[in-house]
A and B are shown apart, each in its own frame.
Chain A
Amino acid sequence: MNDTASTARDSASTDPGGKPGRIGDVILRVENITMRFGGVKAISDVSFDIRKGEVRSIIGPNGAGKSSMLNVVNGFYQPQEGSIWYNGKTYSPMRPHDAASNGIARTFQNIALFKGMTTLDNIMTGRILKQKASLLEQAFYIGRGRSEELEHREFVEEVIDFLEIQAIRKTPVGRLPYGLQKRVELGRALAAQPTLLLLDEPMAGMNLEEKEDMSRFIIDVNEHFGTTIALIEHDMGVVMDLSDRVVVLDHGSLLADGTPDEVRKNQAVIDAYLGVAHD
């Protein structure tokens, strides 16, 4: 896996004539966020930014505040202090509808799909914000209801093709193995054509092969759709291979921020998280 992932990264970043600016300007800035649950400080005064087109990882030990951080970014949690700057606008705080309507999509650590619905229908729900037809038009499949459905279905089929889940198109999601459910969840997030995609432990509980597949999809999403990705992941191999830059949190505060190499060499990180190395 490390091989394939790094090859793809290398070819993208070292290619002189290819895409000089895969990584663009800052599109999101987290500014001095502090988040408390009662007396517990989950995040304290954390700031970092995300650039357009990059894969940005957030790592840290359990309880470091990683998931809380993503929840703040997409407005699910409202922090007591700090603000989010996104695409030229400052939100303090970000609200869920702001996030959704501005192209921020996410997947969850614990899968949040509609278990009784098919893969196809689940992914179609990712298109809901893009549907303008009235209830009547949709119910009777007339007018805009019909044309929109066709248009959305086509896009959803593209996503299905992209994630290679044709075989489970009509299978109720509840019957699928875990790794595939994760893929469907990614599909639903992609269906919203996000600018910024937040992935909360997309590879948790997966075996090596599933992780390889998922890594490949994350790289492809990033390159093919140009989607900016913020990623929480525990598998250090994956993180170091996929990411352009890494944020390290520990006990709610920012420990380090930099390229995988910088982070790997950062003594504070080594001590706190990756284990103490002796030269």
Chain B
Amino acid sequence: MTGSQTYSAAAMPPSADLPNLDIYDTFPKLLRYNAQRHGTRPSMREKSYGIWQSYTWAEVKDEVFRFAAGMKELGVERGDKIAIIGDNRPRMYWTICVAQCLGAIPVPVYQDSVAAEIHYPLEHAEVRFAVVEDQEQVDKLLSIKDRLPKLETIIYDEPRGVRDYPQPFLHHYDVVVARGAELLAQDPSLIDDEVDKGQHDDISIIPYTSGTTGNPKGVSLSFRNVMRAAYNGAIFEGLRSTDESLAYLPIAWIGDHIFSYGQAFICGFCVACPENSETVLTDLRELGPTYFFAPPRIFENILTTVMIRMEDAGTLKRKMFHFFMDHARKVGVKILDGKSVGLVDRLTYGLGELLVFGPLKNVLGLTRVRIGYTAGEAIGPDIFSFYRSIGVNLKQLYGSTEAAVFITIQPNGEIYDDTVGTPAPEVELRIAESGEVMFRSPGVFVEYFKNPEATKSAKTEDGWVHTGDAGFVDDRGHLKIIDRAKDVGKLNNGTLFAPKYIENKLKFFPNIKEVVAFGHERDYCACFINIDLEAVGSWAERNNLSYASYQDLSSRKEVYEIVRAHVEKVNRDLSQEEMVAGSQIKRFLLLPKMLDADDGELTRTSKVRRGFIAEKYQPLIDALYDPNAKTGTIKSEITFEDGRKGMLDATVDIVDVEQFTSAGGGFKAAAE
């Protein structure tokens, strides 16, 4: 067992291309520096009336200073909190810097939250000012304003619809900036003086974590946290001022703050904002970013679209695609990792690049991607290696808001689909006795805002932070995340049981939509499986298997056979891993209905609600753990799409699956 061994990565030598953070120790100071250093280079782009418009670093600095002067006159004082609510628009990013110029603290809020969700962070952070994008956000704030006594002033960017609102505390962005320009003309050093007061250890931003349980927590991050973490990430990947990225994930999310703000300021690269949230794929193609981040679901969607369109393509194209993709699967990843590959294979791959991979990457807007990150959820190995095999340098990253993102990154040339990489520069990693991953780094947050108890329970005296994730470091030195620590349990024989780890392995099969694994304080692991209607339905169609409904299809012997093969494959995988080898799946059943948020079985973000499911399907669970039972019967209420209720009454088969002996010496109690 790894015990409390510490894994760490040394600081990398500072890059001559990047600014010295001892001198430029806040973002506003860096902005001033960038305005000199990269004055004529683009800082941000946005599409306006169908044409990309660029703003240079010098222009951005002037605009930020003007807006800051206007805000100062409206009464912003050092230490005030300024809420920022809106889509990825340059002005929203500039507002972050405006707040920092004045010594105020930006509090970005998820723009798609409903008014009730916005209320908590605004009240908790004692926000006095809010800078918002448009009427939608203004309306939300007005609806809760009487419950936010501290909120004084709202500034909106897009005047449409808001123009005639009578409230005196509403100001249009343009008006504030114009006023700021006048003030700066009278006193040119007005903002410079404020910027000079900023310190490296001042709080630079308070993002609120979404929080699956309880109220969100405000994570106070200092300039040191954000800038050092962003800097280390930048030198690790060799980011430079010529890179370009597309900012399309929520501003309130720490990842976007690091990738689209922190690293952009440090490296001086250009960040483009999509025209709107629906045009992201088109914009991606037009811009061709070199630095790209997306959660697994986006990569999955892109791949599905490609595959469906290839099925509709002509025979020649389809054959060509499959031939070269098969080849890429064989050698593509090796070529990307710079490993040795035979001449013929290399030439064939080159031809594939010319005919298939190149055009494909071009259509997807991934041609120029040097570094692509994915994080947040586990990504399916097939999806991951698809992108890598066509030459997109996609990597997994493990991070958290409390770390200012970076905890581990997969280094170039050492990419394994089942790990999240090695510690990022200056990050120390430790696996606690309980199996929980802990880290310490310059990015470690200062505190949870106004929540000392939570701070104390998350962060130790000497700066180690609990991630809440269970994981281990493998013999290659790579971190492997198993599950949320609180979900991890034990089988009766003492084996570690990590439900999500098992579920994810199964969910990577296209035929399987959803899985719920049971095993904590049980004799063995068993699971409910939801088949994917689209995938299995299309398989059934091709094999002349007619079916009446989801329930009917789920009960077919043939379908059970397919799923059984998948489960056995997973068991074989599990048997190779010492810690989880004992939690191979012994029995499973196919649920007669899709788990659905309308029935309370999933959260609105499609996460499985274990407790609820266990209660609702208790008879089926009993059957799974009754060795004599070959079937289980369930009666339950279901909700149809149109809101009507109905009763589900079904008997489902239970299937036993083969177990494999573990490679690492039998069923060992790994977590002990």
Contact = CB atoms under 8 A, between A and B. Distances in A.
Contacts of B165: 11
Given A154-B49, A169-B50, A7 B139 contact: yes
B282 A167 contact: yes
Contact of A11 (B49, B166, B275, B278): B166
Interface string B161-194: 1011110000000000000000000000000000
B139 A167 contact: no
A137 interface: no
B363 to A, nearest CB: 14
B276 interface: yes
Contacts of B164: 11-12, 15, 18-19, 223
Interface string B144-167: 000000000000000011011110
Interface in A46-80: none
B279 interface: yes
A262 interface: no
Contacts of B47: 166
Given A11-B166, A15-B166, A166 B160 contact: no
Interface in A107-162: 154, 157-158, 160-162
30 contacts: A4-B139, A8-B161, A11-B164, A11-B165, A11-B166, A12-B164, A16-B166, A18-B164, A19-B164, A154-B49, A157-B49, A157-B50, A160-B49, A160-B50, A161-B49, A162-B160, A164-B276, A166-B50, A166-B275, A166-B278, A166-B279, A167-B278, A167-B279, A167-B282, A169-B50, A220-B161, A223-B161, A223-B164, A224-B160, A224-B161
Nearest to A160: B50
Given A157-B50, A167-B276, 8 more contacts: A4-B139, A8-B161, A11-B166, A15-B164, A18-B166, A160-B49, A220-B161, A223-B163
A8 B276 CA distance: 24
A158 B48 CA distance: 9
Contacts of B50: 157, 160, 166, 169
A177 interface: no
A275 interface: no
Interface centre among B50, B278, B282 (most CB of A within 10 A): B50
A38 interface: no
A17 interface: yes
Contacts of B275: 166-167
A161 B160 CA distance: 11
Contacts of B160: 162, 220, 224
Contacts of A12: 164
Interface size class of A (residues with CB under 8 A): 20 to 34
Contacts of A158: 49
A126 B164 CA distance: 29
B155 to A, nearest CB: 19
Contacts of B278: 166-167
A219 B278 CA distance: 23
A127 to B, nearest CB: 15
B42 to A, nearest CB: 21
Contacts of A17: 166
Interface string A21-41: 000000000000000000000
A8 B139 CA distance: 10
A227 B279 CA distance: 29
Nearest first, the 4 closest Cβ-Cβ pairs linking A and B are: A157-B49, A167-B278, A18-B164, A167-B279
B278 to A, nearest CB: 4
B180 to A, nearest CB: 25
Contacts of B49: 154, 157-158, 160-161
Nearest to B281: A167
Contacts of A220: 160-161
Contacts of A157: 49-50
A259 to B, nearest CB: 21
B301 to A, nearest CB: 15
Contacts of A161: 49
A157 B51 CA distance: 10
Interface in B236-282: 275-276, 278-279, 282
Nearest to A157: B49
A166 B166 contact: no
Nearest to A164: B276
Nearest to B51: A157
A220 B49 CA distance: 18
A12 B165 CA distance: 8
A122 to B, nearest CB: 15
